[in-house]
Structures are given as C-alpha cells and as structure tokens.
Structure 1
C-alpha cells in the first residue's frame, strides 16, 4: 500500500481549496482532506475502500451532468438532518441513550452540539517546561511501567516517561486487569510515545491522569498528530473521547452533504463561510485556526452558525410583519378635535413623551394595514391614559376597544382609573373578569355582541370562548411578557384584523426587543409626569432594622403610608426567611401597636384582597404587609415608603416593579432594601444597580447582562426561541446584521417565491413548524 497518503492528499486538497472553488467541489475537497488525515490509522481493507471511494468521487466530479449542491432538494436535506444518531458510525444503543439525555437524537442535533471549549495540542513541550493546571503535548520514551495497589480493589497502572529534560508519570486508576494488560503490552520500556493531557503534581512530581497516549515509530509524521482538540459538555454514561469520536464521524460524513440555503449575495455581503464548512470546522478545527476565537465562540465558523440562527428568526419576524402589512386593516378617521378636547379635560397635563407616543399610535391607526405596536413605559409613566385615548379614537369611529391585563387586580385598577377619567363622556365601559357574577357577565357579553359596550377591560377571560364582539377595532394587551405570543394571536382573532397595541412596564433591552418583539413597531414613554421625584433607594442590613422601622414611623407621623414586602406568605421549613403572615402579627403587636397594619397575599380570596387594598387606598390601613401580589398595578399616591425584606432573593425587574408602587404622589419617596449578609455576587450586583438608578431601561440592560435573555422575560411564556449556539448578549452585533439581511430579503421577495429561495423557504418552515403562525408562508 502507498505510504504518505495521509500527508499528500490533505496537502493537495488544501492547495485546490486555496483557489476558492464552487461550493460542491469545495465540499468534496474538504471531505477528502479530512478522510485522508486518518488514513494511516485505518485497517488495510478500510484504506483500500477509502481509495476506491475517492476515485469514484473524482470520476463523478468530471461528469458534465453532475448534480450540483444547489439541486439537492429540501426533502434530501431534511432526510440527512433527521437521520437518527444511532446510525452514525460508532454509536451503539448505550451511547445513543446517553446522548439523548443531552437532547442529541439526530444528526442535526449532533452537528449543532458544539464543543464548550478547545485544547491546544499543536505544540510539543519539553517536560521540564510543564506547568500544573495546563494541557500539554509531550514526546518521550517509557523508562518504567507497572502497577501499584491503593487497596485490594483499586490498582493504579503507571508509566514513567522521559524526554531527557525531565520525567512525567502517566496514571490510570480503577481500570480492569484486561485494560492493564493491553497498556503494558502496547507501552513496554523503551517505547517512544506521544502523550497529551492535563498536567498535575503529586508529592512534587509531574503527573497526567488518564491521558491520551499513542505509540510512535520512526516513520510517524509528528505534524499529523498536532491538533486542536474539541471538548464537549458531558453527560452521565458517556466519555469525552466517545463524544469526540461521534462528533467527528458526524461532521466528516454528514456536514459536506448539507446544501447551503443562505442566498449567495448574503454570504458575500456579510463575509460568511459556507454552512457545511462551518459545521465541520467547529468539530474538526485545523491547526491554523485561532484557538482563542474558537474557545470564545467568535470564530468565522461560529459566526456563520450564529448568523443563521438569528437570520431564520428575523426572517420569520419580517414575513410576519410583511404579512400584517399585506392584510387589510381598519383605516380610522382620527377625530383630532375630540381628542384635543378630551386631553384638555384631563386633571393633569400629558408629558412630551406621552404626546409623542400617542401621535405614533394614532398615525398607525390611520393607515389601512393593522397596527402592531409595542408601547414601553416605566412604572407610573402614564401608559393607561395613552391607550385610553387610542381606544376612544376607535370608539368614535363606531368600533369597540378591549384592554387585557394579566391580573384581576390590574384589570380592576384600569377600570377604575378609566371610569374616573371618562367622567361624563357618553362611552360605556365594562369590566369582565372570571370572578364577576354570572348575571353581570351575561349582560356584558350581550352588550359586547350588540355593540352597546364600547370599551371592555378584563383578564384572559376576554379571549375565552363565548366572548364575541360586535366590531372590535383596537385590542390593547397590558404587561405583554405575562402573556405568550399565542394569547396575542387569540386576542386578534376576536375581530377582523383589529389594531393591536401591546403595553409593557418591564423595559426591554434593545437586543431582546429585536428578537421577541421584532415584528412590532416601538413607542417609548421615557419621562415621568411632572412633579414626581425619583425614589431614594438604600440597602440596609439586618443590624439596621431599627433604623428602617424609625423611617416608617417618621413617614406615618407625616400622615403618609408604607408597604412592607416579604417573599413568602407563611413560614417555610426549608428556608430561613421571614414570612408575611407572622411578621404582620409581630409588627401590629410589638412594633407599631398605635397604627393599623393590614396583610395581603396571593392565597387570599379575591374579595378579601380587594377589601384590604381599598382600605389601604382610603387611608384606613397605615402599613400594608404584602407579598409580591402588589408588584403590578396598585396606585396609592399617599404611600411614600417601601421596605423590601430579603431583597437579595428578588430579581432586578421585580425589585423595580415593586419600587414603582411608591413615589406616585408629590412627596419624596423611599425604598429600603433589607438584605441578609449571606448573598451571592449576583444579588450584590442587583442591589447595587437598584441603589444607583431609577431608570427602568438601564435596569433592564443590567438585568439582561446579569441573567441573560431567557430569564429576563421568562422564556417559556415569551415565545423567545431556544437558540442552540447564539447568545443575544454576546452576539448582539451579528443579530443586527442578520435582522438587516432578513428584512432586506423580504422587501425584495415578500413571499419567498423566487426559485433560488425555495430551499430557504423550506428550511424556515422546518425551523418554525408549529411554533408560530407564519404570515404569508404558512
């Protein structure tokens, strides 16, 4: 058999690749290069088979009617990717079962199961220069081998290796007698070896535990042994070497077969490597690759995979937006004189930010396409009045408006606020929640059907069966992140393409907004009503509790009120936390006996909760002890102080929402974060952010940086896709590029109808099947 093919063929393939051939030829050359790198390690029959396969491949390439990669059908692509992992060479039932615990069940899953880091084995080191705690590659000679016993069951096999500058011990623990015999036979005294692994020390001697080791002979090409080794996330029942072997086999066999669905002009414009090359090189890096970039997922190969993940999401959002733009909506005639009269009748002036947002919303409502807009505004910035004016514009056009809130408490608060603002205006406003009496509910449902109810405010009860509108023109969804994308769609179905306004008091970082609300236009209310002072926030530790209580007393003496918030309703056996029920009794009896202390929590019946809230609002209760049930929507202008117990246990967004319950009047308000000494670094960061700023948008960015995207919105309900490789924080720049590319493509080919986009269209369908309704290409 010919010697040297393991070096010659890869070298020739590299030269040919340097000429930048067309994709199909490029993939064939890459396959030959990878397959022949391991040529010397194959058995004689396997070597002969590889040569035959290579000759057949080259002969086919010369045929003029060769099917190019572009003609590989979408069905073929799906078939390749959906191949069960058990059919990959070297995967038995046990390995397949272990991989399934990491959600790797198909070839596609394996291709996208990326290494978590990489080890540099390109440079052979002298043993004298080895440093404990680093990975190293050494070449030396076995000077001693043998076993030693730690106990009757635990025997260690030992090889001492020298390269003339020093010695290192290679050790194997808990191995079978059979494996010990194999090692002893393969690595006798005097055998030259290549050794690679993590360096450690024991009694001042250098060691490697369970290293990679290969026997070397004079003809071995050392250069072929130098490489960058991928390291994968592990799961129980599978070794690193097994995953490496499976990933290598998958990448070599299947990556070259994948057609590239990304249009050529996008690949060129954004300097993206071909998909098959990206998927192969993340698993099989070349010695010339930048190991730093690989380990930080910043290599050109990672960039391509990340770009694709973002691009497919943005393409779906662009098509959704395009689909909305193509749908016939309602072109409202905005009665500006009536709106101006209503604004001037309000007991307060609108801020510039409120007026700007209102102008944007009314501008959308005048267009013939349905409005899809997100209204972001911090707690207390005045979103309710803006959405009310938009709803009135719909009502004055002969349509109905609906406002959906996440809790009964918030729905009731909107209802009361809106009823007060409406005054004598002849508009019928109704409240629909699941706890209202059946007779009242039936009356409201009849009014909605007939059109005599103009504006309805409610909870998810609004999207249930049996709720029919006479003529729904505007649907407003408040606190969107509590509702999934599905509820948004259900609300829209209650009318014929009504305008949709989504409101949130949880400011969303820009990058996150691009992914979750990428199909919505955005308005921002970024200033508070005049006269409102920023809440002063201080972190107190347990030893300052008496000072916190002194502050409460000071505010109560000024005829103000206070909230004290606890994370738990009742005492928990597992956690050493103060709880609301016990503390309310303690505060009433021992600390503030001369004042009235109330208690409200989520486990109470709704009627009892409402009664206590109303008593607090009227001023009958001076201190309200509560759980996070008050996080959303209680408006008590007289409350000027909040103490949050165990503040280290709350997330940033929640702390910010809670703090928004005070400072709604003209008095200076305070928020005291009572924290325990034992807290994580993350908790310390959160509390520092709260002390530093009242700006909800800055807090959202910080929260995003601390916790990452999935948690900020609560991934499960947000409809945020599960990215396999992309990270919204780390890859924000690529997200921007992918968004631009997707929206430009949809502008050129709105339905992805062009022949060259058919594979992309199919890939998009496969990616999002069942996840979201795709406007225009479903």
Structure 2
C-alpha cells in the first residue's frame, strides 16, 4: 500500500508520470501495458560504461573516458543539418581530441576545466575519441541497458520508466518458481533477477540474472502446457476395449516382424485407446520407418471393439495408396474398407454413405472429403490424420466432431526437432519410431557440382540399365529470367531426348490438374516411366519401391527438412539407393546444408540442424513457425534448459495438491490470471 492506495504489478503503465495516451500507445506496440510487462521488458544488450585507462583500450573499442575539458569547444556547420563539435579532453598527462558529429546542442553542456565523462569509439592510431554521448560529470552506472524500442519512444524514456516502476513496485515482486526448484538450480530471487536485468553492476551480474529470467520464462510456458495437457486428459473420451488376442493374431500375419520401436509405439497408443479419456497423440517417424503398419494395427484394435476408424490423408494419391495397402493387410479379416475423396463419383458416394452411417463400413480412408456435410459415422472411435501439418486445426477438429470424442492419432513423416516437440507439441503425447525396418540400407548421399552433371547422368543411366527407376527434382516449372535455376520443362525435354528410345521420361508439376498428376504418378509406379522429372509435388506421397535414385537440381535452394523428405522417396526396399545433390552454393549456409545431408540420414538430426541454420520462421513460415515467441530464452540455443523446465513443470503438476502448497501461491495466482488457463482451476 502506497500513499493510501493499493498497488499491484497488474496496474496500467499510465499510473507512471509522463505516460499519456500517445506514450501509452507507443508502449503498447512493444507489448507493454502493465507494470509487470514493463519490468519484464528486458534489455537485449548492455553498454559497458566503466572508465578505462588509455593503455587498456583496443583500437575502435567503444569505451568511456573521464577527464577535464582543456579548451573551449568549437562548432563547425555543414549545410542545414550537418555539424562537427570539437574539444580537447585532459586525461592525466594526455590531451585527447574529442569529436561529436551532428549533435550541436552538446556545446552548451561542455564547460572548460570541468570534469566530464564521454562514451565513444576510440581511434588508437590517432589517439582521439569519436563521441557517442556525454554521460555527465559525476558517476555513471557501470552498465547501460539497451532496450527493444520503436519510433514512438526513445531508449532514454524506457530507462526512466523502468527506473520509476522499479522504485514504486519492487516490493510487490514475488517468486513464481517454487523455492525447492530455485535452490536446486541456484536461481536468483525474482526481484533480484529483475533488478540485475535492468541495473547490473557487472556483466557477470547481468548474465546470472538472464539465466534466471530464461528459466522462469520457459518454466511458466511449460506449466501452462502441462495444465492444458492434463485438462485434455481429464475430458471424457472413448474407452476402446479391443480384443487383444485378435490383435496379436493379426500382428502374426504381417509379412515382416515389427521393429522394437514399432512394438513400443503400438503399446503406447493401444494403452491410450483403452483409457476412458480422449487420446491426443502424435506419432512421428522418419520416412520409411513403418508408421502405416502401426496405424493399421491401431485401427484394427478399434474395429475389434466394435468401433469405426478413419484415416485422413492430404492428397488423393496418398489416400489411394493407404487404401490399397490396408486392403492387402486386411484381406482375410472382417474389415470393410472404402475410399472417399473429391474424385469419388456421385453414384458411388450415394451407395457408400448409408453403409458408413449404419456401420457396415468400419474403416474409411480419404481426404478432407471425410469431414464434408452429409458424411455421417455410426460409431467412430479412432481418427488418424496422416501428414498432420498439412491440415489446419479446424479440419482436424471437424473430423473429431464426426464422432463422440473419438481418440485422435496424428502422424507425421517430418521429424520434429526436440525444440518444437517441447514447445509446439508439449500438450500432446508423442510416440517416436526411431528405427528403420530390417534390411533397409542407408541412402548414399553425394554432393555434386554443376560441372560434374554428366557423370551424374551416366550414373542414373547405369541404375536404369539395372532395372531401377529415378526421380529428377527441380525447383522451377518453366524457365525464369529472374532466377538462374534449372527448370522442370527444360530438363524433361533434355532427358527425354537423352534416354530415348530405351527409357521413358515423365513430367510432374504443381500446375497440373489432380487427375493428370495421379495418372503420371500411377504410370511411374507401374514402371511405364523409368525417369520422373518433377517439382517438389512428390515431396510427400507415393511409395515406389523400384526407385533407387533421387537427383535434385539446385539443391541449395531447398531447406534441409525438404531435402530429407525428397531423399525419403527412395530407399523404400532392400536395394541400395542414392541421392545426388547438384549445387554450387553461393554462401556458407548453402555449403553447411549440403554437408549435413551427406553426413547423416537421421531425420531428427536434419530437422534440428534446419532449425538452427534457418530459424523457425524461415522453416515453417512466420505464422506457422510452431515456436512461441520468448522474450529472453532461445528455444533452439537453450534446448537443455527448456527440457529441464519441462521436466520440472511435469513433476510439479503431477504432485498431489500442489496448488494448495503455500510455496506455489504466487505461481498459482499467475496461472489463474492467464485467461487461457482460467478454466483449468475450476
């Protein structure tokens, strides 16, 4: 209580002196609306303002010098806005010339024979200082904070407001991290952390404060995710009490033994399905790791319990491939499979829908057609979404609402780096297939310069002669003057002439109609084409076991995750397969990507490297980056700390009655205050 009124960190910044409507708006643009958000608007760097002796200063170092003004300042003007202010500074026995450009108003603050501190860049060769700012004639703080700012508000104003907020509100700051966790990781009290983030005495103090600030930010975020996850887990769902003996008998009929990783994830998913709560699980596995078989086992489990299962794929050709594969797996079992896509004829659709609604059909495979109006299910128990990142949240939710809270299993062949798994998917349970089926050989990847293309084409020819097929991928459809990249049309024409008459070449690109694409892809799968020239439209899709070569032109124009997906189109059998990357990278980033691809086949390593090299915004697009925006923590660079924060949040939320523990009172109050979590404390 101050001055007869209560104060709280939730107070508006308008309570501070000098914050009127205009300044309030400028602060809001920076995300600052309350005292709490102002005090956690941390500096992104610091200026070291400690005074140094002349013999300690490196050339062109930014430094603070303290001395006596030795002569009156002189001001020279050049035009209306340009000026140069000169004076001399006596430091012990040395006289140092000081120059300020385009700050003529400083002349009035310089007094002969008065002490002054100047911050600027030191030219050691000329022994002179190019001034940046005058720090006054007294003592300056040894470290100056530099804040994120905008055109509407200056650094100095932010510094003044932070100082005012700290003086009035610092005794309201309470720890959000429980005391045992703070002791274990040797974290600072929250008030000390906030003080030392803004007003550090040394660089070490600033670093210690930043360490605590990062952990607190990660911990708060993970607490919200864990609460969201626990809330989801308490929602009533469908308990699928499958027939385990039938399931085991089906697994015995598979043409190959499951890998240990497949067995592990089948157990995880089936255990979830038996629970009376809603399953929300992500199954991720590298290309060719056997996710479809796992999906088949789980769908059959649902069917043995009298439920229907649905599998939604992003493209018609992928949906058709799934339907054909499942038909072969379930041929001797009471599983009635139908395929429903946008291309399903009206007459066939009219016959199919009543069979689905009355339960005769117990497994349906399709595209977004599965969620259209008029498609009704009898007893939908399990929904599987393939390549889940290609569907929006609304589409996945629409499929879930077709049943009575069915279990949902999302699948992706895009390995998700740990950073994203811990942040974006933290509220989901994650199963990982981290092992390839027996007999699969690692794909041999080679980086080839453009000057070596002839030898690469000869290699493709040798693979064709051995009875195999090849993909040739390029970034562009037609020739472009703006970008010097090989294009699909030109390569198609060149290869058609080169390989004729012994081998046929097909062309596939995104401008084709869906039925044209399907026809070309089907012809390639049937070996009517031995070479398929394509754009990235083949990144996710059909399984052509006979294809052993993936040749990628201008490979440095693709992201690592995309290159890995393209590489995964080959290596689908026990035949040795190859990926040829043709590129002359113009920068280090491009070279690094080529090296990563030639050094590892592990999709999780590739995806983490992609995140590090390009950043989440570039990999996924700014809006779909998947990474939340943190103020101080970097979820890529600080992945270990992020993992620790997740572990601690999980342990705390699993502790009985943790919300009643006085140690956690401030944390509970903070979480209740977060609007999105309010319902979790009902």
Decide: shared fold, TM above 0.5: yes
2:92 is equivalent to residue 169 of structure 1: no
Corresponding residue for residue 232 of structure 1:
147
Conserved 8 A contact 1:77-1:259? no
Structure 1 residue 408, shift from structure 2 partner: 3.2
Corresponding residue for residue 445 of structure 2:
537
Change beyond 3 A, Cα 1:293–1:587: farther
2:475 is equivalent to residue 567 of structure 1: yes
SS across alignment from 1:748: coil
Corresponding residue for residue 705 of structure 1:
612
SS across alignment from 1:403: strand
User: Equivalences for 1:725-740 in 2 at 5 Å?
Assistant: 725-740=632-647
Corresponding residue for residue 469 of structure 1:
377
2:459 is equivalent to residue 551 of structure 1: yes
Corresponding residue for residue 194 of structure 2:
279
Corresponding residue for residue 415 of structure 1:
323
Structure 1 residue 704, shift from structure 2 partner: 3.4
| Alpha-carbon separation, structure 1, partners of 2:17 and 2:316 | 58
Corresponding residue for residue 573 of structure 2:
665
2:54 is equivalent to residue 127 of structure 1: yes
Q: 2:428 aligns with which of 520, 525, 531?
A: 520
2:650 is equivalent to residue 743 of structure 1: yes
SS across alignment from 1:402: strand
Structure 1 runs not aligned, ≥5 long: 1-23, 25-55, 61-65
Q: 2:160 aligns with which of 227, 245, 251?
A: 245
Conserved 8 A contact 1:565-1:628? yes
Alpha-carbon deviations, 1:214-254, whole Å to 9, x = none? Answer: 1x3xxx5x4xx242111234545655434433444444445
2:134 is equivalent to residue 212 of structure 1: yes
Change beyond 3 A, Cα 1:462–1:269: farther
Corresponding residue for residue 110 of structure 2:
187
User: Equivalences for 1:292-691 in 2 at 5 Å?
Assistant: 292=204, 294=206, 299-484=207-392, 487-589=395-497, 594-678=502-586, 680-691=587-598
Conserved 8 A contact 2:589-2:613? yes
Structure 1 residue 381, shift from structure 2 partner: 1.0
| Alpha-carbon separation, structure 2, partners of 1:440 and 1:189 | 96
| Alpha-carbon separation, structure 2, partners of 1:275 and 1:483 | 41
| Alpha-carbon separation, structure 2, partners of 1:757 and 1:491 | 39
Conserved 8 A contact 1:630-1:658? yes
SS across alignment from 1:333: coil
Conserved 8 A contact 1:272-1:304? yes
TM score, norm. by length of structure 1: 0.80
Conserved 8 A contact 1:584-1:599? yes
SS across alignment from 1:138: strand
Corresponding residue for residue 53 of structure 1:
none
SS across alignment from 1:662: coil
Change beyond 3 A, Cα 1:228–1:457: same
Conserved 8 A contact 1:483-1:718? no
Conserved 8 A contact 1:104-1:113? yes
Corresponding pairs, count: 681
Q: 1:139 aligns with which of 66, 78, 81?
A: 66
Conserved 8 A contact 2:620-2:626? no
2:122 is equivalent to residue 199 of structure 1: yes
Q: 1:111 aligns with which of 16, 39, 44?
A: 39
Conserved 8 A contact 1:322-1:750? no
2:629 is equivalent to residue 722 of structure 1: yes
Conserved 8 A contact 2:617-2:624? no
Structure 1 residue 560, shift from structure 2 partner: 1.0
Conserved 8 A contact 1:140-1:193? yes
Corresponding residue for residue 42 of structure 1:
none
SS across alignment from 1:699: helix
Q: Tell me the C-alpha RMSD between the 2 structures.
A: 3.2
Structure 1 residue 465, shift from structure 2 partner: 4.7
Change beyond 3 A, Cα 1:647–1:300: same
| Alpha-carbon separation, structure 1, partners of 2:354 and 2:625 | 33
Conserved 8 A contact 1:319-1:751? no
| Alpha-carbon separation, structure 1, partners of 2:678 and 2:80 | 65
SS across alignment from 1:562: strand
| Alpha-carbon separation, structure 1, partners of 2:501 and 2:255 | 38
| Alpha-carbon separation, structure 2, partners of 1:407 and 1:579 | 24
Structure 1 residue 691, shift from structure 2 partner: 0.3
Alpha-carbon deviations, 1:398-423, whole Å to 9, x = none? Answer: 10111222333322322222123222
Conserved 8 A contact 2:567-2:579? yes
SS across alignment from 1:697: helix
Structure 1 residue 611, shift from structure 2 partner: 0.3
Structure 1 residue 196, shift from structure 2 partner: 1.9
Structure 2 runs not aligned, ≥5 long: none
| Alpha-carbon separation, structure 1, partners of 2:31 and 2:228 | 29
| Alpha-carbon separation, structure 2, partners of 1:550 and 1:604 | 30
Change beyond 3 A, Cα 1:542–1:97: farther
| Alpha-carbon separation, structure 2, partners of 1:310 and 1:440 | 53
| Alpha-carbon separation, structure 2, partners of 1:112 and 1:443 | 62
SS across alignment from 1:599: strand
SS across alignment from 1:524: strand
TM score, norm. by length of structure 2: 0.90
Change beyond 3 A, Cα 1:249–1:592: farther
| Alpha-carbon separation, structure 1, partners of 2:260 and 2:540 | 25
Structure 1 residue 624, shift from structure 2 partner: 0.7
Conserved 8 A contact 1:117-1:230? yes
Change beyond 3 A, Cα 1:234–1:480: same
